[in-house]
């Protein structure tokens, strides 16, 4: 289970599971439900424990599911290792009016979200 922590102005999520497409879809539903239940419009997802590879097709599908489930109301920063950064998912989300950006370091993500650690 990912760790969800309400930090007042945003939801902090630490991913602890190994990647699978099925898990990613489950996670997005749980993530959106938590944001809505807690009335939070910003989120920081710590995905530094994720290991690749994640296919371009998976990234595309996750991006589509993100927009469908999370929508544009929640501003989300995802932090992953530099070697996992591929802008496919980010582009899919942003091109469909989602509010999502991928980072490789915490400080930049927090600044983009305009929140404090």
Using the predicted structure, report yes or no on whether residue 117 has a pLDDT greater than 90.
no
Please give the Cα distance from 84 to 60 (Å, whole number): 14
- Residue 1, pLDDT score: 84
Which pLDDT tens digit goes with each residue over 60-92? Answer: 999 999 999 999 999 999 999 999 999 999 999
Q: Which helix (H) or strand (E) holds 79?
A: strand 75-79
What residues does each domain of the chain span? 3-113
Report DSSP state, residue 96. T
Domain 3-113 CATH superfamily: STAS domain (3.30.750.24)
Measure the CA angle with vertex 62, ends 78 and 65; round to 5°.
Answer: 110
- Residue 57, pLDDT score: 98
pLDDT band at 8 (very low <50, low <70, confident <90, very high): very high
Tally of residues, the chain? 117
């Amino acid at each position: 289970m990912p760790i969800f922590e309400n930090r007042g102005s945003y939801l902090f999520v630490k991913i602890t599971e190994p990647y699978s497409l099925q898990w990613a879809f489950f996670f997005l539903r749980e993530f959106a439900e938590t944001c809505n239940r807690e009335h939070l419009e910003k989120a920081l997802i710590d995905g530094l424990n994720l290991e690749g590879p994640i296919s371009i097709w998976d990234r595309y599908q996750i991006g589509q599911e993100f927009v469908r489930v999370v929508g544009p109301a929640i501003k989300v920063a995802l932090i992953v290792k530099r070697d996992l950064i591929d802008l496919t998912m980010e582009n899919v989300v942003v091109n469909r009016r989602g509010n999502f950006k991928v980072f490789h370091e915490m400080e930049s993500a927090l600044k983009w979200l305009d929140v404090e650690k």
